[in-house]
Structure 1
Amino acid sequence: MAILRAHDVSQLTDVELQEQMGKLRMELVQHYGKVSAGGATENPGHIRELRRTIARLMTEKNRRSRV
């Protein structure tokens, strides 16, 4: 999954925002599952980027709900 920047997130519709958040959360759960099973991820920095992208999506969602 591609990492979305703030500019990209602001251009998404509400439906796309929810879809992207769901996909990213599932990918994050898969990475956490792999790590908890004793394995190592190919790219540990990817987990951090996933968490940040989810935060960007949540921030945009909250910003839209306040307006």
Structure 2
Amino acid sequence: MKIKDLRNMSESELRKNLADLKVELMKHNAQVAIGTAPKSPGLIRKTKKSIARILTLLHQRSSQQEKTGAVANNKKQMEGRSKL
């Protein structure tokens, strides 16, 4: 998946997509463990990269929310302080 497509998705869609990709990766790894030749050798790598992209986006969004929450919280603390 392309990063542009992923950025347009909501968090719930990203999490659902992440779960689907993890199941797909598990199936591919099971095929390799059994000894069956995968349909496409690069498919495992593409799946892992897609998982990493989604996890990166989710982490960026959560850290951005924490940052904006911390800034708002800091402003409230500064307003509540008495001026010396």
TM-score interval (norm. to shorter): over 0.9
5+ long unaligned stretches in structure 2 = 65-84
The equivalent residue for 1:43 is 40
Bigger Rg over Cα = 2
Q: 1:39 deviation in Å?
A: 0.8
Task: State the one-letter code of the partner of 1:53.
Answer: S
Q: Counterpart of 1:7 in structure 2: which amino acid? A: K
Q: Following the alignment from structure 2 to structure 1, what is the Cα–Cα distance between the partners of residues 15 and 32?
A: 26
Residue 24 of structure 2: aligned partner: 27
Instruction: Report the CA distance between 1:38 and its aligned residue.
Output: 1.0
C-alpha root-mean-square deviation of aligned residues, in Å? Answer: 0.5
In the alignment, which of 35, 47, 54 is matched to residue 57 of structure 1?
54
The one of 3, 6, 13 equivalent to 1:16 is 13
Number of aligned positions between the proteins: 64
Q: For 1:44, what is the secondary structure of its paired residue?
A: coil
Shift of 1:22: 0.2
- Tell me the alpha carbon deviations over residues 4-59 of structure 1, each in whole angstroms, 9 at most, x when there is no partner: 11111101101000000000000000000011011110101011100000000000
Report the TM-score when normalising by structure 1: 0.93
2:40 maps to a residue whose letter is N
TM-score (norm 2): 0.74
* Runs of 4+ displaced beyond 3 Å: none
